A and B are shown apart, each in its own frame.
With several copies, the nearest count.
Chain A
Amino acid sequence: MELIFEKTVAGRRGFRVSKSDVDAPTALPLKYSRTSPLPFPEVTELDCVRHYTQLSQMNFSVDTHFYPLGSCTMKYNPRFTESLAASTGFVDLHPLLPQLRQGERYTQGALQVLYDMERWLTEITGMDAFTMQPLAGAHGELTGVMIIAAYHKAKGNKKKYIIIPDSAHGTNPASAAIAGFETLSIPTDDRGLMDMDILKAHMNEEVAAVMLTCPNTLGLFNSDIDKIAALVHDVDGLMYYDGANLNALLGKCRPGDVGFDVIHVNLHKTFSAPHGGGGPGAGPVGVKASLVPYLPVSRVVQNKDGIFHLDYRYPQSIGYIASFYGNFGVILKAYAYILLLGKAGLMETSSHSVLNANYMQHQLQSILPAAYPRSCLHECVLSAKDLLAQDVHAIDIAKYLIDQGFHPPTIYFPLIVKEAMMIEPTECESKEMMDRFIHAVENAVSLAASHPQALKDCPQTTPISRPDEGKAARELKANFFNSCDAKT
């Protein structure tokens, strides 16, 4: 489709700002003024509306398609949370208001949302305190690891390593490294869990923490969790919980009860804030009592008189980790979601997401072997490696599924599973939908045998066929004004 720049006609206007109602003032000295052209598109509002409406129609989305993207918890995003987050009572609030003297009085509603959310997440996860500031899961990880570092520094611990299983999401080692730690990767045993012997072998006084996703990225719950915690705590190391998969455990198991010291939660997964094609998200971090002093400032506290305000007086705090109080608009959606579901609704979420995932795995594993054939939690990981014989890859199945009107599962993650296909149906999808999906996978696999090329030629029904990813990286055209040549 044409780029918005290619729809430009000199002189066209999409929006007119108000006329000035003040007397023309002293002009800005030329030295400081823009002299270069500003090649924004010149289009009408209609052009703009048509362009982005048509673009939107080129997307698969939860609103239009089944989207069982493993590890991403693509559940339904309730509409009422959207309209609430757009209500003027919140959207027009300036973030510096509560930093004025007595300013908290003008943002009591917003501060209470943050305060309640911290309390609710604390209860849901079994931690002692939360900060709502981190802006995504990985940001939560970084915050958590910084807290861990601050803890060890304060105690004079000399720590160097963070232990991470090889099944972990890429953000875990990346966050650990950015915070200044070296990472030790522990292989996965044939149960699909972290290899205990190797873990023991690596455990030492210099281990700052172990980062675990639980259930892990294979969708498996690690029943050794308490043993692992004991090992780590023995060396005064800390247990970090990557909350991306919390959707499996609501009311079933609380990280705080089984030895975890630091946790992040993805509100844009478990608590149904929409993903927006990649963001924004929210990755609040929870900690146990011993780590509370290190939480980032500001913190939201409530006076005896019931007034909420921001408190910055925490000398040991790691400080600011974001400009303000978190992605408030995202937090508000999760707030409304939790309030609507309530305790019982949250527990049902896990029960049904796990039931659906197991049904998927059970029906599919006769066609594509499960990476670790045992009952899973909220997602299952299959392997398409048997199809390599016909030179068919997981990606070919994925593209076939697109033509059948399904967004493909996550593929090639976790890295430890060959030709991995990671399927997370979520609690929101119906049995009929899953059956249709299963049927489509069956067809794909039989095509792999009978007519593999048919899979290689997928997708056919989309606006484009398979892109040349190599060319994109080689020629790197990421800016229209540096790649006009490549127009078509």
Chain B
Amino acid sequence: MNPYIANTDADVQKMLEVLGMSCVDDLFLDIKKEHAPRSFDLPEGYSEYEVVSRINQLAGKNSSNLVLFIGGGYYDHYIPAAVSSLISRGEFLTAYTPYQPECSQGTLQALYEFQSLICALTDMEIANASLYDGGTALYEAMMMAIRITGRHRIIMDGGVSPIYRKIIRSYTNNLDIEFLETPVIHGQSCRPDIQKLLDEKTAAVILQNPNFFGAVDDFSDIVAMTHRHGALTISSVYPVSLGLLKTPGDMGVDIVTGEGQSLGLPLNFGGPYLGFMATRKKYARKMPGRIVGQTVDRQGRRCFVNTLQAREQHIRREKATSNICTNEALCAIQAAIFMSLLGPEGMKDLARLNFEKAEFTRQTLARIPGVEVKKSAPTFNEFTVRLDRDAHEVVEAMIQKGFVAGFPLGRYYPEMNDYMIMAVTEKRTRSEILQFAKHLEDVMQD
């Protein structure tokens, strides 16, 4: 039986009488007999306690107590309890998209604050109210660049996450978009390669900072190059790193996107996450996704509404800047609470702490025979390590000891089987790091 149904048998009878019907099935007469389900074989219902026990059993089949040195764009950061507690309030959780601004100012103002925080973090002029995730956000940015420039050639830097690259490839399979890729290297973006590919057909150069291999870069020169050819620069960023790293806005990047998971969202086996996008105000009308804007009510009081809706599918339909409707609003509010709580100093401390722990780890591991730490470029909290054997094996062996040592690059780059990337967040304590190093040394000796 469904415990969430309000109608009692008496209610049903009353309503049927009003409808002049004898049974509820009469309401389904438009569905012909032959259209009835051929089968509908599903679990019997359970009580709340029974479901909770079953799912807790499933939870027990996951190893959630491993010490994580794995990142790849998704990081094990601490989430302040206030964030989780505020975001779970029913008034945020069970509201729909704020179509009726008068009774949705809570969601609207919080999203406006999110947009402003993203702009502050990236030094951009305008941000939207969220996209699905970091990968789809980068794809949306590319489509936006194509709309803006009217060009159809994309230069993809070798440092961009292979996951994002795969997503972009699948979405554009059917579209006439030409992709040029610069070789994959562990260091910073190779200027000459980009230079070679750039021309008047180029819509955008897609970059990432820190890149997938951890290298930190300053794209100012690439931006200049790109603009000389009337193309745009798109950069995907790791938001936590911007507490310490030069901002895309400062580099002159045109469209910034990123994965917002690190801003107070749990890893959650891959979602819900948070795609964000920020750009210059002049491109606002070409931007996908909802935008919350400020205005005044009839008494002249400041208030907030969904704005520039003419870009969106529910008005523009096939001509919309994107098909997105449901986005990641709650995750955006969660990120806004996280950023507000940390404040400027908290955000900087957090970034510095990540940087320092990673540096400490880098230095510690460098001493281990068989482990070569790539130093071709400065890094933030993730870096590339070369091992004297298959990284998959090493990672597998380390998990037995309770550590996820990193992500083997061979997974996406067959030629790099002996490489892995390692992430070190603020949660990793000195003693965890030293223990980890000890175990790794043992493993490398076997």
A329 to B24, CA, bound (A): 35
Q: Is there contact, CB below 8 Å, between B325 and A9?
A: no
The stretch of A233-241, A442-450, A462-470 in contact with B is A462-470
| B36: A residues at CB distance < 8 A | 252-253, 257
A226 to B30, CA, bound (A): 13
Task: Digitize B119-142: 1 where CB-to-A-CB distance is under 8 Å, 0 elsewhere.
Answer: 111010111011011111000000
Q: Is there contact, CB below 8 Å, between A25 and B363?
A: yes
| B46: A residues at CB distance < 8 A | 18, 339-340, 342
Q: Is there contact, CB below 8 Å, between A278 and B107?
A: yes
Partner of B45, one of A174, A318, A344: A344
Q: Is there contact, CB below 8 Å, between A319 and B395?
A: no
Q: Is there contact, CB below 8 Å, between A463 and B5?
A: no
Given contacts A277-B92, A346-B42, contact A18 B296 (CB under 8 A): no
User: Does B156 sit at the interface, judged by CB under 8 A?
Assistant: no
Q: Is there contact, CB below 8 Å, between B337 and A274?
A: no
Q: Is there contact, CB below 8 Å, between B101 and A467?
A: yes
Q: Is there contact, CB below 8 Å, between A86 and B298?
A: no
User: Does B22 sit at the interface, judged by CB under 8 A?
Assistant: no
Q: Is there contact, CB below 8 Å, between B90 and A183?
A: no
Q: Is there contact, CB below 8 Å, between A59 and B91?
A: yes
Given contacts A175-B323, A320-B166, A323-B134, contact A15 B2 (CB under 8 A): no
User: Does B186 sit at the interface, judged by CB under 8 A?
Assistant: no
Task: Digitize A252-275: 1 where CB-to-B-CB distance is under 8 Å, 0 elsewhere.
Answer: 111001100000001010001011
Residue of B nearest to A153 (CB): B174
Given contacts A60-B100, A64-B91, contact A48 B337 (CB under 8 A): yes
Q: Is there contact, CB below 8 Å, between A479 and B127?
A: yes
**Most chain A CB atoms below 10 A, which of B117, B130, B318:** B318
Q: Is there contact, CB below 8 Å, between B117 and A359?
A: no
Partner of A135, one of B8, B132, B317: B132
Within 8 A of B (CB), among A10-57: 10-26, 28-29, 31-49, 51-53, 55-57
User: Does B415 sit at the interface, judged by CB under 8 A?
Assistant: no
Given contacts A124-B42, A348-B1, A486-B302, contact A3 B109 (CB under 8 A): yes
Residue of A nearest to B166 (CB): A320
A352 to B60, CA, bound (A): 36
Q: Is there contact, CB below 8 Å, between B59 and A479?
A: no
**Most chain B CB atoms below 10 A, which of A62, A320, A323, A363:** A323
Besides A278-B97, A320-B166, A344-B44, 8 more A-B contacts (Cβ < 8 Å) are A16-B48, A25-B356, A149-B173, A223-B32, A226-B34, A352-B7, A356-B15, A462-B102
A29 to B129, CA, bound (A): 33
Given contacts A16-B346, A53-B89, A481-B120, contact A402 B298 (CB under 8 A): no
Least distance between B202 CB and chain A CB atoms (Å): 21
**Most chain B CB atoms below 10 A, which of A3, A137, A277, A466:** A277
User: Does A436 sit at the interface, judged by CB under 8 A?
Assistant: no
Within 8 A of A (CB), among B52-82: 52, 54-64, 66, 68, 70, 72-74, 76, 78, 80-82
Given contacts A41-B343, A319-B166, A462-B102, contact A476 B284 (CB under 8 A): yes
Task: Digitize A64-94: 1 where CB-to-B-CB distance is under 8 Å, 0 elsewhere.
Answer: 1101010010111111101110111111111
The stretch of A106-114, A198-206, A382-390 in contact with B is A106-114
Given contacts A16-B3, A149-B174, contact A466 B325 (CB under 8 A): no
**Most chain B CB atoms below 10 A, which of A17, A95, A352, A354:** A17
| A379: B residues at CB distance < 8 A | none
Least distance between B34 CB and chain A CB atoms (Å): 8
Residue of A nearest to B310 (CB): A473
A157 to B423, CA, bound (A): 47
A406 to B411, CA, bound (A): 53
User: Does A130 sit at the interface, judged by CB under 8 A?
Assistant: no
User: When A and B form their complex, which 9 residue pairs have the shortest distance between CB atoms, in order from nearest?
Assistant: A89-B59, A342-B45, A324-B270, A276-B330, A278-B329, A63-B90, A25-B359, A319-B170, A95-B270
Q: Is there contact, CB below 8 Å, between B333 and A277?
A: yes
Q: Is there contact, CB below 8 Å, between A26 and B395?
A: no
A269 to B63, CA, bound (A): 31
| A467: B residues at CB distance < 8 A | 101-102, 295-297, 303-305
User: Does B383 sit at the interface, judged by CB under 8 A?
Assistant: no
A5 to B70, CA, bound (A): 35
Q: Is there contact, CB below 8 Å, between A482 and B326?
A: no
A139 to B323, CA, bound (A): 8
Q: Is there contact, CB below 8 Å, between A53 and B90?
A: yes
A343 to B2, CA, bound (A): 10
Task: Digitize A106-137: 1 where CB-to-B-CB distance is under 8 Å, 0 elsewhere.
Answer: 11111011000000100110100000000111
| B318: A residues at CB distance < 8 A | 173-174, 176-177, 183
Least distance between B139 CB and chain A CB atoms (Å): 10
User: Does A188 sit at the interface, judged by CB under 8 A?
Assistant: no
User: Does B370 sit at the interface, judged by CB under 8 A?
Assistant: no
Q: Is there contact, CB below 8 Å, between B100 and A402?
A: yes
Q: Is there contact, CB below 8 Å, between B271 and A343?
A: no
User: Does A302 sit at the interface, judged by CB under 8 A?
Assistant: no
| B50: A residues at CB distance < 8 A | 18
User: Does B185 sit at the interface, judged by CB under 8 A?
Assistant: no
A106 to B61, CA, bound (A): 7
User: Does A358 sit at the interface, judged by CB under 8 A?
Assistant: yes
User: Does A281 sit at the interface, judged by CB under 8 A?
Assistant: yes
User: Does A325 sit at the interface, judged by CB under 8 A?
Assistant: yes
Q: Is there contact, CB below 8 Å, between B342 and A257?
A: no
| A170: B residues at CB distance < 8 A | 312-317, 320, 325
User: Does B116 sit at the interface, judged by CB under 8 A?
Assistant: yes
User: Does B348 sit at the interface, judged by CB under 8 A?
Assistant: yes
| A136: B residues at CB distance < 8 A | 132, 324-327
Q: Is there contact, CB below 8 Å, between A280 and B2?
A: no
User: Does A396 sit at the interface, judged by CB under 8 A?
Assistant: no
Least distance between A157 CB and chain B CB atoms (Å): 13
| A468: B residues at CB distance < 8 A | 295-298
Q: Is there contact, CB below 8 Å, between A275 and B316?
A: no
Q: Is there contact, CB below 8 Å, between A479 and B19?
A: no
User: Does A285 sit at the interface, judged by CB under 8 A?
Assistant: no
A249 to B348, CA, bound (A): 35
A69 to B96, CA, bound (A): 9
A170 to B293, CA, bound (A): 22
A329 to B265, CA, bound (A): 11
Q: Is there contact, CB below 8 Å, between A469 and B307?
A: yes
Q: Is there contact, CB below 8 Å, between A478 and B126?
A: yes
The stretch of B192-200, B223-231, B241-249, B437-445 in contact with A is B241-249
User: Does A210 sit at the interface, judged by CB under 8 A?
Assistant: no
User: Does A452 sit at the interface, judged by CB under 8 A?
Assistant: no
User: Does B93 sit at the interface, judged by CB under 8 A?
Assistant: yes
Given contacts A277-B333, A344-B2, contact A13 B346 (CB under 8 A): yes
Least distance between B217 CB and chain A CB atoms (Å): 7
Residue of A nearest to B216 (CB): A32
**Most chain A CB atoms below 10 A, which of B5, B8, B134, B167:** B5
User: Does B339 sit at the interface, judged by CB under 8 A?
Assistant: yes
Q: Is there contact, CB below 8 Å, between A106 and B429?
A: no
Least distance between B417 CB and chain A CB atoms (Å): 11
A211 to B388, CA, bound (A): 54
Within 8 A of A (CB), among B1-38: 1-12, 14-16, 18-19, 24-25, 27-32, 34-38
| B103: A residues at CB distance < 8 A | 58-60, 65, 402, 407, 459, 462
User: Does B222 sit at the interface, judged by CB under 8 A?
Assistant: no
Q: Is there contact, CB below 8 Å, between B344 and A39?
A: yes
Partner of B62, one of A107, A174, A180: A107
Q: Is there contact, CB below 8 Å, between A24 and B107?
A: no
User: Does B399 sit at the interface, judged by CB under 8 A?
Assistant: yes
| B360: A residues at CB distance < 8 A | 22-23, 25
Within 8 A of A (CB), among B205-246: 216-218, 242-246
| B115: A residues at CB distance < 8 A | 478-479
| 18 residue pairs from A and B, CB less than 8 Å apart | A12-B8, A31-B218, A48-B86, A48-B340, A59-B107, A72-B96, A79-B84, A100-B392, A149-B174, A170-B315, A251-B40, A279-B330, A322-B133, A323-B270, A325-B270, A349-B5, A468-B297, A478-B127
